[in-house]
Every structure is written in C-alpha cells, then in structure tokens.
Amino acid sequence: MILARISRAIREQNWFAVVLEFIIVISGVVIGFQVTEWRAEQRAISDETDIIARLHRDIESVGEGRWDWAAERASTRDLLITASAKLFGDSEDDLTRAECNAITQSHVFNSPSLALPILAELESTGELDLISNSDIREAITRNFLANAWSSEMDIALNHEVFNLSARHSQYFDFVLPDEPEGWNPIFDGSARCDTAGMRRDPRFLNELADNISKSLFFVTAVLDGPNDSFTALHEAVDAELGESHSDAVSP
C-alpha cells in the first residue's frame, strides 16, 4: 500500500509526497523497534522480579534443622578441645559425659547442603545474568564458591574415617536408656568412656588427633563458609525486596 503510494508519487514527481511517505515508513520502523525493546525490558524486569522472589522462597525453605545441626557440630568441636586437655595435656580429670559423647561423634563430618534450587536452575540454563542487582550477583558468586569449597572439603574429610568407638571398643560403653524407643547411641549421650585407658593408647590418641584436625576444617570450611555466604545472600535479597525479619531462621 505504502509502496504503491510512493511509486505513484515518484511517477507524478510529487517529491513532497515521496519524502512524507518515507518519513512515515521510517517512523513506523523506529517506533516498532522501540516498542519491541520496551517489551523486552519489561519482560526482563518481570523475570528478574520473579527470580528474586523465588530465590527468597528457596532461602527461607532451609529449615531450622539445618542450623541446629551446624550448631551441634560446632559445639562437638569445642568439646573435643576441652577433652584434649585431659587426654593430651596435664589434666588428670576424667572426661565428662559430654566430652566422651563428642569423641564418639568425632568422625561425623557431613552437613545438609545449602545449595539453592533456583540458582542451580539458572546456572544450568545460562540465565544467571537475568539478575542485574550487583549486590545479589556478588553474593551469589560468593555462595557458589563457598558451596564448592564446602563440598570438596566434605569429600576430603570423609575419605578416611576413624570411628573411634567402633575401632577402640574397649574404651566405650553404651548405656541403654530406660525408654529405648528411638535409641540413637552415637548422638543421644549414651556413651561412657574409659579416660585412663584412652590416655595410655597412642594409636587411639593419634586417631583422635586426626579427627580433631578434621573437625577444624569441618567447622571453618564445611559449616561457617556456606553459612556466612548464605546469610549474606539472604540479606542482599531482603534489601532488594525491602524485607526485614528479625526472627529469620539462620545461623
């Protein structure tokens, strides 16, 4: 239609009409491009809003059990240190029940992952750049690095496991509770230790020393690193969403 009008204007040598038709054509193309660009921008904004909302839901879905487990593992490490004064140092006191039970758990180096499903999905589809907020992007990078380091350490720490109550059974007794339903001997404080026997056994002490060293890496790399980066990511997402929840479940 427009081409027909331009052809007629050229035939009639109506240059004003020719110029006018060209301007109409070019304006139409320019407006068309701008509308397309605007729609793409709106779609990207809406995608980013949806992604950040989902990211927040994923963060909040990490249950209280994860943080309790992490706190318990960190306190086991503290008990191993106080036990060390009695087994490797000058103290002649017997191990407390808590210290004895920390030794029975001293080979347990695992932790529920803090990987977030939405980030794994965006990474696999190469769409992480849909998130434009620089604070969130930086927090995501730190989160990826911390989780990668954590899982590498997890594998390394569990490569050779010294389950001391199984390997040195002569120093441990497990006391059956009055109500044994759900008995969890390693984790519920049932163990009793022979402190004097342990002190005299270099093989036991060396294996315990190995577990104590690993517990340091476990707390710093497997627990603290991911916990800290997870909390920082949550804060960056909260800032973007304008959320604040002082009762948030986190370490």
Q: What angle do CA 107, 198, 204 make, to 5 degrees?
A: 45
Place of tokens 């992604």: 51
In the complex, least distance from residue 27 CB atom to Zn ion, rounded to whole angstroms: 47
Which residue number has the CB closest to Zn ion? 238
Given the complex with Zn ion, which of 127 and 243 has the nearer CB atom? Answer: 243
In the complex, least distance from residue 245 CB atom to Zn ion, rounded to whole angstroms: 6
In the complex, least distance from residue 60 CB atom to Zn ion, rounded to whole angstroms: 6
Given the complex with Zn ion, which of 194 and 238 has the nearer CB atom? Answer: 238
CA dihedral over 52, 55, 61, 62, signed as positive or negative? negative
Distances in Å between the Cα of 3 and the Cα atoms of 53, 103, 143 are 49, 88, 58
In the complex, least distance from residue 140 CB atom to Zn ion, rounded to whole angstroms: 15
String of b and e for 163-187 (b: at least 16 CB within 10 Å)?
ebbeebeebbeeeeeeeeeeeebbe
Given the complex with Zn ion, which of 58 and 201 has the nearer CB atom? Answer: 58
Give, as one character, the DSSP assignment of residue 201.
Answer: -
Given the complex with Zn ion, which of 84 and 250 has the nearer CB atom? Answer: 250
In the complex, least distance from residue 143 CB atom to Zn ion, rounded to whole angstroms: 15
Return residues touching Zn ion (CB under 5 A): 238, 243
**Chain Cα centroid distance, residue 126:** 20
Torsion angle (degrees, nearest 10) of CA 231, 236, 239, 240: -140
Given the complex with Zn ion, which of 89 and 242 has the nearer CB atom? Answer: 242
